[in-house]
Structure 1
Amino acid sequence: MTARARMADAMDVDSAAASAPRVQINLSTRDPTLSVPLQSLRVPTNLKRYGLSTLVNHLLETPKPIPFDFLVDGQYLRTSIDEYLTQAGLSSEKPLDVEYVRSQLPPTYIGSFEQDDWISSIHISSSSASPSILTGSFNGSAQITSLSGDILARTVPMHTQSVKAVTWVSHPSSTENREATFLTASLDRTINLWSYTPSSDPSSTTIPIAPRTSYISHKSTITSLSHSSSTSQFLSSSSDHTIALWSTNSSLLPTVPAPTSTSFTRKRRRTSKPPPTEKRGPLAVLSAHSAPVSQVIHAQDPTAAYSVSWDKSIITHDLVTAQVVDTRVTQHALLSIATLPSLNLIAAGSAARHITLHDPRVSSSTVQNAVFRGHTNAVVGLVKSPESDYVFASAGHDGCVRIWDVRSVSSASESVERSDKTGGSLFVIKRESGSGKVFGVDWSKDVGLVSVGEDKKIQINRGEGMTEVNVLEQS
């Protein structure tokens, strides 16, 4: 078989391909590890993703085939080139700019583990040797679950109301029998620091965990936590309109009295007296927002942070001076936030069911870079993909997790501003239980995409089963 014939066969061209229309495409990518000199090629218009993927592998001379997807005018190509041209009303005489990207594998349902109550929050440990899942529950407890569904540890009664946020401080490693620590925050206005030592005995029973330190400052529900491993500091946001800065080194914090008990708190504590802990106050309190603060996260530089609020604003904070660096005001109440650091972007989820992209740098002149629509209820969780700088996932009260690619955006119309771009989700993950809001989501390369919610379940999905692409033989 000649090189020309091999090329035709690999590009899905049938025996009539010689007379088939052709179009010039300009191939490009934003991934420097997969770039080739700008290619202008004339290809048959009957090519689909498979044929184009084969072509790119041929140009890259890849030793092992890499599955690719293709973006045309900010939209993933899901048809043949000819069908795309027809739908878009374009002529095959005009060159087509085609961007190739690594395929995002479709998420496959792996399994789910049920707990005793609604699950409000989740954080996957980053230990590749023994990853585990930390969750917070509406019953006021937190627990650590293995990837096989075994409950490894559970907190003793301490919080008097629902746990709203959890985060690992140091990660567990059963191979080293090393102590791990994590934080929980609650509707009861307190934050607790817990210590946990994994058992090296796989047959051991659930370990009860006791708290070491209680952090007290907020006057209302604590809505989120963000820990910086490089500074040993963490942030909390609250419905009392404030953000507090703390340290896991309690000696750096002032001692404070225990909070005044509410009637609900006193009722709970009659049946379960909490263990004693040292009570500590914050390093600083930030009061830039004028409404409940939904979430706060550290920036890539741990001396800075971003927060979103019901006051519709995104605020950049300098944690060294406790001053506001920048404020971006949007059109809707904001409930969640995540960073895309390599792109200098942040994603913000709203009560209006959409996600907006923003450039938080002071030099940025645009308030909003793009809008992603698809959720039918509030977007309460966002997390970046561990493998792609351009991909992130969102959790919604509509019972779905959606996966998005920031490259997949296009102008809504010819009359809108250049910065007003819209995008749709790549994949939609529904609850295997068939019902219930999603309250939290996390994403780990070792574990997968893990979501929790009203159905009391930890659900794991992972991209698997992508068919490999045949590589063209070299001419």
Structure 2
Amino acid sequence: MAEAMDIDPPSSSNFPKIQINLSTRDTTLSIPLQPLRIPTNLKRYGLSTLVNHLLETSKPIPFDFLIDGKYLRTSIDEYLTQAGLSSEKPLDVEYVRSQLPPTYIGSFEQDDWISSVNISSPSPSSTILTGSFNGTAQITSLSGEVLARTVPMHTQSVKSTTWITHPGQSSEASFLTAGLDRTINLWSYTPSQEPLSSHPLQISPSTSYISHKSTITSLSYSPSTSQFISSSSDHTIALWSTNSSLLPTVTAPQSTAFTRKRRRTTTKPPSTIKKGPLAVLTSHTAPVSQVIHSTDPTAAYSVSWDKSIITHDLVTSQPVSTRTTQHPLLSITTLPTLSLLAAGSAARHITLHDPRESSRTVQTAVLRGHTNGVVSLVKSPENEYIFASGSHDGSVRIWDVRSVSSTSSTDGGDDGEGKSGGSLFVIKRESGSGKVFGVDWSRDVGLVSVGEDKKIQVNRGEGMADVTVMDQS
């Protein structure tokens, strides 16, 4: 067994030492495994200095440290005391790049509650697509300028939006909207190069997609197949193509008590081509909250109020696997390089799942901190271990899946293998109130959230590229 290397900072000569085993999951920052003996009074900064010395970095890198899945926020001596551990036993310490708290950049107000948000890419043509409770969608620049707005088409609130082609990718940009009126609409427009603040482009739809019998809750588009999927409160998932020639032509749905409660408009909706789905998936037994594509475009994951996560084969339209949890599920995102799914629940927590058939656990960990339903999840564009969540409690939280630790109780029957974790950072609404309905995260723009306060809020942390975002605080 290798003899431990002694580390002796001048200010620490009178403190006892402990052997630590440093490790990291970042292969670009790994150092040869070797036991080290360090003074127990060292905190994060001292340990970060040590790791930079061992890495021989030309420019210091700020690091954080995890012990048993918990971030070290005190000295090692204080940690040992709180955990009831002895300095005689070696301590395993994992180092990770520090994640700085996202700074508030600015917010832009719209006319009504904002239900969904999608950031376009790439920079410098980045824009923000939002859907609203007033039945419209609009495209906003990073300075808060409204570039384009949809004409009145949806007769009720827009619930979900997604880009098909982004501004800057081609001469024409396109996106989908869906909502409470049970229809999906395809919109296309040519982005203008001229200032449009006083006269935003008015966008008309070209195609309407009709199948669902109740509110459409989410949309997910796959560029590689030119197909998209939708989920609905009618318990179904529908598969569509943006190539209208592949879809059957259908008639508009007949008026029902549901549709008669529509939003009042003074203009007649434009006429569109009306198309039906390629397939309808019926595996869920309750409203489907969200459906997303897997990294394999022929597969998808969905979550539902029936408490299940289902993996679907989009080629055969059949379920591949079903995982049943303890609570109704409201949102989902993938952490593909880790083979994990994160699912937000109506019970205020987030559960981590391994969707592979070989996995025997229903869930691998439970993340707690929100005080209301978790309705939106998005992975970090820069760090495979980080993701963000939006909740009806009015906050956005940032999580690190490495920060989970063993617990003696699973608190109410959650089968998370006895592992739980808390959030790294909490982002409150700058307006001070209102539910969060949607979040999106871009390397160029930052973390964008929308909600009941009618505002698009932009926060940005370490590693985000410099972009011009008007601070309207």
* Offset of residue 105 of structure 1: 1.4
Task: Specify the SS of the correspondent of 1:439.
Answer: strand
Aligned 8 A contact 1:298 1:304 in 2:
yes
Quote the residue 1:86 is aligned against. Answer: 81
Structure 1 match to 2:457: 459
Structure 1 residue 110 displacement after superposition? 0.5
Cα-to-partner distance string for 1:336-360 (whole Å, 9 max, x where unaligned):
0000000100000000000000011
Amino acid at match of 1:444: S
* Unaligned ranges ≥5, structure 2: 1-6, 465-473
Would you say 1:202 and 2:195 are equivalent positions?
yes
Describe the SS at the equivalent of 2:45.
helix
Give the equivalent residue in structure 1 for 2:34.
39
After the TM superposition, which segments of 4 or more aligned residues of structure 1 sit over 4 Å from their partners?
263-270, 414-418
Find the aligned partners of 1:255 and 1:427 in 2 and give their Cα distance: 49
Q: CA deviation at 1:261?
A: 2.7
Q: Residue 186 of structure 1 is aligned with which of 179, 187, 194? A: 179
Aligned partner of 2:229 in structure 1 is 235
Partner of 2:13, secondary structure, is helix
Deviation at 1:465, TM superposition (A): 10
> For residues 177 and 363 of structure 1, do their structure 2 counterparts lie closer, same or farther at Cα, with a shift above 3 Å needed?
closer
Question: In 2, Cα distance between the equivalents of 1:48 and 1:271?
Answer: 65
SS at match of 2:78: helix
Contact 1:140 1:162 in 2 (8 A): yes
Query: How many residue pairs align between the two structures?
Result: 453
Residues 126 and 171 in structure 1, CA contact (< 8 A), matched pair in contact too: yes
Q: Is the 8 A contact 1:451 1:460 kept in 2?
A: yes
User: Is this contact kept in 2: 1:303–1:318, CA < 8 A?
Assistant: yes
Measured after TM superposition, the shift of residue 202 of structure 1 is 3.1
Percent of aligned positions that are identical:
79
1:338 aligns with 2:333: yes
The structure-2 alpha-carbon separation of the partners of 1:177 and 1:335, relative to structure 1 and needing over 3 Å to count, comes to closer
SS class of match (1:83):
helix
Name the CA shift for 1:414/1:214 in 2 (closer, same or farther; >3 Å): closer
Supply the AA of the counterpart residue of 2:79: Y
1:250 to 2:248 alignment: no
Alignment of 1:233-312 (within 5 A): 233-262=227-256, 265=259, 268=263, 271-312=266-307
Of the candidates 21, 24, 28, which is equivalent to residue 23 of structure 2?
Answer: 28
Are 1:158 and 2:153 counterparts?
Answer: yes
Once residues 313 and 88 of structure 2 are traced to their aligned partners in structure 1, the CA distance between those partners, rounded to angstroms, is 53
Instruction: For residue 80 of structure 2, give the secondary structure of its aligned residue in structure 1.
Output: helix
Query: Which residue number corresponds to residue 214 of structure 1?
Result: 208
1:44 deviates by 1.1
Q: What SS does structure 1 have at the residue aligned with 2:65? A: strand
Letter in 2 for 1:453: G
SS of match in other structure, 2:320: strand
User: Over aligned residue pairs, what C-alpha RMSD do you find?
Assistant: 1.8
Q: Name the residue aligned to 1:450.
A: 448
1:252-311: per-residue Cα shift (whole Å, max 9, x none)? 111000122346756657622111110000000000000000000000101000000000
- TM-score (norm. length: structure 2): 0.93
Deviation, structure 1 residue 8: 5.4
**Alignment-mate amino acid for residue 452 of structure 1:** V
> Residue 356 in 1 paired to residue 351 in 2?
yes
Does residue 324 (structure 1) correspond to residue 319 (structure 2)? The answer is yes
Which piece of structure 1 moves more, 416-425 or 367-376? 416-425
Q: Please report how far the alpha carbon of residue 418 of structure 1 lies from its aligned counterpart in structure 2 after TM superposition.
A: 8.0
Q: Which amino acid aligns with 2:172?
A: E
- What one-letter code is carried by the residue in structure 1 that aligns with 2:428? K
1:313 maps to which residue?
308
What does 1:36-75 align with in structure 2 at a 5 Å threshold? Answer: 36-75=31-70
**Letter of the 2:437 counterpart:** F
Q: Contact 2:410–2:418 (CA<8 Å) still a contact in 1?
A: no
Q: Aligned to 2:111, what secondary structure does the other structure show?
A: coil
**Deviation (angstroms), 1:19:** 2.1
Q: Does structure 2 conserve the Cα–Cα contact (< 8 Å) formed by 1:177 and 1:198?
A: no
Aligned residue type for 1:244: A
TM-score where L is the length of structure 1: 0.92
Q: What is the DSSP-based 3-state SS (H/G/I as helix, E as strand, rest coil) of the residue aligned with 1:328?
A: strand
Pick one of 411, 431, 434 that aligns with 1:433: 431
Matched to 2:127, the amino acid is: S
